[in-house]
Amino acid sequence: MKGLTWLHRRWLYRLTRAQGRNVRVWAMRRLGFEIGQDVYVGPNLTMTVGYADKNIKLTLGDRVSLGPNVTLILATHPNNSKLRSVVKFPPRRIIIGEDSWLGANVVVMPNITIGKCCIIGAGAIVTHDVPDYAIMAGVPAKQIGTVDKTKLTLPTGHF
């Protein structure tokens, strides 16, 4: 995100909610986030970031799919509250491994790593790191199963 003004970053963040997945992915890459190949970003992605904050990190591996209304909380603070002087800001990063799928309305809290080939069920709130091949659901998200590695195959074409 170096070299971008806060106004330009603000405009790009708004594009992450635009119609058309290619526009959303383009805007995320332009903001300096690491976005892999064949990534799908569903409509109404919400990322909580400060327009002037250049220290956030988002990494989406190859073939990651984000369903509609996913929320990625990259940065948060109590704004103008007196709590701001006593609350420590969490690290500003989210990493989602290759081939992972986040269902509709999933919320990912800051400083979370989701492993590769994970499934996060619709409406889940991810509050801790997720191991590779885990199936998670609930509030807060808990592991309810694992992906059978023997049945995994790479897709044959682009979507």
Residues belonging to the active site? 77
Q: C-alpha distances in angstroms, 98 versus 2, 12, 56, 80, 128? A: 26, 24, 20, 38, 18
